Amino acid sequence: MKQTAVEWLRDLYENRPAYEECILEDEWEEALKMEKEQMIDWYATGQADTVNMYEQHLNKNSNTNEK
């Protein structure tokens, strides 16, 4: 499965030295761009018929990505 925008941003943050524990503006913008592209792809697959399905998608991803 393709890495989500949130996973990418988390990995970026977690792999920084302690003195650089911040997310830069351009990194935040890249994550937002990735999220938008992922949502467009998700809608294009026809999986977004209802708000309930969207919530199920978010819940599934947040539950499987916990450490």
Does this model's pTM top 0.75? no
Task: Kindly give the confidence (pLDDT) of every residue in the chain, 67 residues in length, as a single tens digit, with 9 standing for 90 and above.
Answer: 678 888 888 888 888 887 777 888 898 899 899 988 888 887 777 766 655 666 777 777 776 555 4
Q: How far apart are CA 53 and CA 28, in angstroms?
A: 26
Q: Domain ranges for the chain, please list them.
A: 5-64
8 Å CB contact between 45 and 53: no
pLDDT of residue 67: 45
